[in-house]
Structure 1
Amino acid sequence: MFVDQVKVYVKGGDGGNGMVAFRREKYVPDGGPAGGDGGKGADVIFEVEEGLRTLMDFRFTRHFKAQRGEHGMSKGMHGRKAEDMVVKVPPGTVVTDAETGQVIADLVHHKQRAVIAKGGRGGRGNTRFATPANPAPEIAENGEPGVERDIVMELKVLADVGLVGFPSVGKSTLLSVVSSAKPKIAAYHFTTITPNLGVVAVDEGRSFVMADLPGLIEGAHEGVGLGHQFLRHIERTRVILHVIDMSGMEGRDPYEDYVKINDELRQYNMRLTERPQIIVANKMDLPEAEENLKAFKEKVGEEALVFPISAVTRQGLKEVLYATADLLNVTPEFPMIHEEKEEGSHRVVFKHEKEDTGFYITRDSDGTFVINGPRIEKLFKMTDFTRDETVKRFARQLRSLGVDEALRAKGAEHGDTVRILKYEFEFVE
């Protein structure tokens, strides 16, 4: 089974907690703070392994949670950093954030790495909080939470040349005769349901990778048939070989097929139309193929590269392979993520914008005020509520962020209940 898209959950390791400790040597009076920092949590890293070909392993393991850092210790000893979690992925894997759709990494080359979920930093021990005004603080931080997110992994086949066309036009047969690939071949639609790769050797020591992809039908850009499974794989190809059944044996018009396939490519992604295209007029050994080819050439015009072949009899294969290799020599790679760059001079314009407070307040039906926001939640998780000094520090942090004023503006009064995550507090004036 070929798996080319899967959704998984990843979480970087939490940082280790800082420690509250004091020096207690026999001859060192008032030794002072000696709590060490926690170690950094492990990152979740994806690394390309060229021996992998599918995302099959991710069907069975959909959660990747890295280890947390070691907690700080007494005598000023810091906790050990956790070892990063390295996950092997096949070349051609594109990782996107499931919530925002933003591309996190495009992994192509062997041993290429990308940090998918960063581990949290270790919490500071009480040694870090010593000041002349408070030389023996009982304050320490919990470790920073690691990044957690749902991601979508897509596998896009790495091939120089992609074969496109309607089902049963002879793409699999063509790949089988020009390379050592052994795709399944049969006289019915959708024989090819998974991409097949083959290395095509041309004279003069030139070679390229060709992909036989699932056949297209109308509406493929909207996911009809095997649409998206096909189209995502052609995004990386540099040259397109458009295979057309020139015999018209199934009652199809070759030119109409040509127009429909190109329309599907255009509607899926406008950048697919930038790729150079060679038209392969297949099945020229069958009756009426010559007449159909003549009419086809008149409609597409002289600028189109049309090569008549017969994949069965191997007629014309040498010419189309040479033309493909020549075209690859002058065709650059197409970036997966298109970034438009503005040319000319640049002016930096500063605008006064209201700073993001990092939190927002809602109210439940029972009257409880609920504080949400990544900044507040991070501070909350890094606070050790077993010690009074750290609780007071957390209250000061909330006050400096403007939480108290925002609660009053929402109508909070003395004694009202305030909730952060699953924990409730009492609002005190």
Structure 2
Amino acid sequence: MTEGNFVDYVKIHVTSGKGGQGSAHLRREKYIPKGGPDGGDGGRGGHIIIKADKNLWTLFHLKFKRHFRADHGLPGSKQTSTGADGGDVYVDVPLGTVVRDTETQEILFELTEDGEERILAEGGKGGRGNAHFKSSTNQTPRYAQPGIDGQELDFTLELKILADVGLVGFPNVGKSTLLSVITAAKPKIADYEFTTLKPNLGIVEYRDHRTFVMADIPGIIEGAAEGKGIGHRFLRHIERNSTLLFLIPADAKDIKEQYDILLDELKRYNPELLDKERLVAISKSDMLDDELKAEMKEVLDEEFHNIPYLFFSSVAQQGLMELKDKLWEMLNKETE
């Protein structure tokens, strides 16, 4: 999936159908010149319904179609015939889509199961025909109810990626390079910050034809929890990953300090993120000789305590199998 085709945020405008007009018809047949009221009810206006589809991975199909309008209900007719309901309109979205009210920014609900449906805008009710208004004092009512108008609303759809492993790190630490090396994904790679502006998904092939999904997410910066940079649009994707892989380059001034900053941003955004399995991977380790690596290990053993870490290099293809083994072990422990 190319970066340009990955759309994780879109605003839509929906208009449900108006209810049909009730009929004010009076029965007129041969030999029955003064029959009573027999006007039928109007049909219901069409709903706008949002539906989860496991075969979708992105909101790209909504990028160029953001307005949805349902059909109006048809009017009632004689012999108490009810008008036909307006056709419902479905908006298909991937699993993990969050629906917000655009005006208030309130989260309304989230779609997490295949085939799950929710009504975004209800169609208006059809008006009642004059047959409902007949009484002992008014046996030939010549009026009926109009149909109720439909709803016109704005929603914001946000996608939280469903992946097994999420790559967490500052910009330009090698997340895209790692994804391009251990999966078939082709993310944009360049030597400047914020090359990745949208998440990239890749399937990692493991031993015995087993696989797991890894997501390269836009780089985090200090202040992301407050919305700085691309802030919240990055952090919401972390919530859907069962294991977090922290990437820190071997040439960082202070590896533990970078890790603590990243952890603090996640904690401020959502403290529950700290409950996820974590692995620290030190990238670009081909720059280190054995002596320097041994010195770093002594320091890291003391600083990281119970947090697992390992060294690897995407460019030199070093430690990649060890990385996959560790991630697979963590994912299986999570499942159990």
Q: TM-score, normalization: structure 2?
A: 0.90
**Aligned mate of 2:122, from 118, 134, 143:** 118
Aligned-residue offset at 1:85: 0.8
The residue aligned with 2:31 is 27
Matched-pair contact (CA < 8 Å) for 1:284–1:290: no
Q: How does 1:137-152 map to 2 (within 5 A)?
A: 137-152=141-156
The residue aligned with 1:222 is 226
Q: Distance in 2 between matches of 1:99 and 1:270?
A: 27
What does the per-residue CA deviation read over 1:270-313, in whole Å, with 9 as the maximum and x for residues that have no partner?
22112111111222221344433432231121x11112222223
Matched, 1:313 2:316: yes
1:323/1:258 CA distance change after superposition, 3 Å: same
Matched-pair contact (CA < 8 Å) for 1:12–1:120: yes
Q: Distance in 1 between matches of 2:271 and 2:71?
A: 43
- Structure 2: gaps (5+ residues): none
Matched-pair contact (CA < 8 Å) for 1:246–1:293: no
What does the per-residue CA deviation read over 1:349-396, in whole Å, with 9 as the maximum and x for residues that have no partner?
xxxxxxxxxxxxxxxxxxxxxxxxxxxxxxxxxxxxxxxxxxxxxxxx
**Aligned mate of 1:84, from 85, 88, 99:** 88
The residue aligned with 2:239 is 235
Q: Distance in 2 between matches of 1:189 and 1:61?
A: 32
Q: How does 1:315-394 map to 2 (within 5 A)?
A: 315-331=318-334
1:5/1:87 CA distance change after superposition, 3 Å: same
Aligned-residue offset at 1:64: 1.9
Q: Distance in 2 between matches of 1:237 and 1:43?
A: 34
Aligned-residue offset at 1:205: 4.3
What amino acid does structure 2 have at the position aligned with 1:235? E
SS of the equivalent of 1:331 reads: helix
**Aligned mate of 1:11, from 11, 15, 18:** 15
Matched, 1:202 2:206: yes
Matched, 1:55 2:59: yes
Which has the greater radius of gyration? 1
What does the per-residue CA deviation read over 1:225-279, in whole Å, with 9 as the maximum and x for residues that have no partner?
222221121121111111111233xxx3111110000111111112211211111
Matched-pair contact (CA < 8 Å) for 1:284–1:310: yes
Higher relative contact order (CA 8 A, sep 6+): 2
What amino acid does structure 1 have at the position aligned with 2:256? Y
Matched, 1:36 2:37: no
Q: Structure 1 stretch 46-55 or stretch 308-317: which is displaced more?
A: 46-55
1:192/1:320 CA distance change after superposition, 3 Å: same
1:205/1:3 CA distance change after superposition, 3 Å: closer
The residue aligned with 2:166 is 162
What amino acid does structure 1 have at the position aligned with 2:281? V
What does the per-residue CA deviation read over 1:406-427, in whole Å, with 9 as the maximum and x for residues that have no partner?
xxxxxxxxxxxxxxxxxxxxxx
The residue aligned with 1:300 is 304
Matched-pair contact (CA < 8 Å) for 1:5–1:153: yes
What amino acid does structure 1 have at the position aligned with 2:164? D
What does the per-residue CA deviation read over 1:330-367, in whole Å, with 9 as the maximum and x for residues that have no partner?
4269xxxxxxxxxxxxxxxxxxxxxxxxxxxxxxxxxx
Q: Distance in 2 between matches of 1:97 and 1:289?
A: 51
Aligned-residue offset at 1:53: 4.2
What amino acid does structure 1 have at the position aligned with 2:99? V
SS of the equivalent of 1:229 reads: helix
What amino acid does structure 2 have at the position aligned with 1:284? S
The residue aligned with 1:258 is 259
- State percent identity of aligned pairs: 46
The residue aligned with 2:283 is 282
SS of the equivalent of 2:287 reads: coil
SS of the equivalent of 2:163 reads: coil
The residue aligned with 1:349 is none
SS of the equivalent of 2:171 reads: coil
The residue aligned with 2:215 is 211
Q: Distance in 1 between matches of 2:239 and 2:301?
A: 27
The residue aligned with 2:102 is 98
Matched-pair contact (CA < 8 Å) for 1:254–1:292: no
Q: Distance in 2 between matches of 1:206 and 1:69?
A: 52
Q: Structure 1 stretch 9-18 or stretch 291-300: which is displaced more?
A: 291-300
Q: Distance in 1 between matches of 2:96 and 2:141?
A: 52
- Structure 1: gaps (5+ residues): 334-429
**Aligned mate of 2:187, from 178, 183, 208:** 183
1:280/1:20 CA distance change after superposition, 3 Å: same
